[in-house]
Homo-oligomer: A and B are copies of this chain.
Amino acid sequence: MKIGPQTHRSSSISASNEQTILVRGRDLASELIGEATFTDYFWLLLTGAMPSPAQRRLLDATLVAIAEHGLVPSVVASRVTLAAAPEALQGAVAAGILGCGSVVLGSAEAAGRFFTQIAQRAEQGMLQQDAVAAVVREYRAEKRTIPGYGHPLHKGQDPRALRLFEVAAEVGLAGQHVAIARSVERALPDLVGKALSLNVSGAIPAVLLDAGYPLLALKGVPILARAGGLVAHLLEEQQRPIGFVMSGAAAAAISYDGPAPAGFKPSDEASGGA
């Protein structure tokens, strides 16, 4: 039984034999290890070419911007999982990565698609501000959130977004997508009735698309970055464990409102065991 597409039967990323590992056509041992930074190498893996210094600095800036923000949901899931299953660090990292979803960390990709739609209209001859208004109105008509704007903590400007735009300008890569991102921010009060600042998940796709980073790999930036942050949290979890404290506090914040026999009294601390 054959399911799904069967047209492709090749890959262009890597090949090897007993002496050599080839990655994107380069000899891994002699040309890349010790020469490329990990960020260079990630760009090479994705695109087949080494980044320019400007591209590398921008990609580094976005990875640094999104790797860590304290005990956010993905970190809670990850540390709780290591506490329960310390034999598998990879499982705890995976549990954290599974929280890079459409609501919390994956909005970088959604914002990238949003900016791209606006850019396509502009390329077809529409004025940028008209393209912004048209696409924002379509999102509103479909009751979709405008991705990349607003933040529960950083209610003024998200300092990470501001800094990413500065870096893009410094390295000379700020272009159409950055301009669109700013244009949306200016237009939102009129279009949706309140001011919403660009957040880090909006700034990342704006600067990366201007730098030539591939749209379909945008979600890979928060995922890769967060993998780094999770490893640091899991090192701390091994040394100063808080996973079960967090799990217990989470349970204690929730009361039981289902049926119960007369006189049943739940424990003060709601839960934690198995």
Contacts and interface: CB of A to CB of B under 8 A. Distances in A.
A273 B236 CA distance: 21
A193 interface: no
Stoichiometry, copies per complex: 4
B228 A19 contact: no
A254 B91 contact: no
A216 B232 CA distance: 10
Most buried by B among A69, A153, A214, A241: A153
A67 to B, nearest CB: 6
A212 interface: no
Contacts of A59: 38
Contact of A87 (B27, B92, B101): B101
Interface stretch (A114-122, A178-186, A256-264): A256-264
Interface string A27-40: 11110111011110
A56 to B, nearest CB: 8
A88 interface: yes
Given A68-B14, A217-B235, A80 B83 contact: no
A152 B2 contact: yes
A176 to B, nearest CB: 21
Contact of A30 (B12, B32, B163): B163
